[in-house]
Amino acid sequence: MTVISQVKQTLTGLQSAQATLKLYEVQSQNKETKKVYQEIIDTTDEIIKDLEGRIKTLEYEEPQYKGL
């Protein structure tokens, strides 16, 4: 498995986890719990953006990986 494949797999897993967190946040009744979920969602957003940037860099540096 190539590095870019691993990064993309990590990104997909994180996006899936974030979707689950968003669902939990919406379903939560407790304001403090909602706040904690939102903080985690914000943190995962930052990580997702970093990974997307890393993928763009990898595709630029190794054009053969573009679109994989």
Query: Judging by beta carbons within 10 Å of its beta carbon (0-12, 13-18, 19+), is residue 41 exposed, middle or buried?
Result: middle
Answer yes or no: is pLDDT of 65 > 70: no
The answer to whether the CB of 25 falls within 8 A of the CB of 41 is yes
Residue whose pair of structure tokens reads 């870019």 in the numeric block? 4
Maximum Cα–Cα distance for the chain, whole Å? 48
Q: What percent of the chain has pLDDT over 70?
A: 94
For residue 18, give both structure tokens. Answer: 């974030």
Residue 27's pLDDT is what? 96
The tens digit of pLDDT for each residue in 37-49 reads 999 999 999 999 9
Residue whose pair of structure tokens reads 């909602």 in the numeric block? 34
Domain ranges for the chain, please list them.
3-65
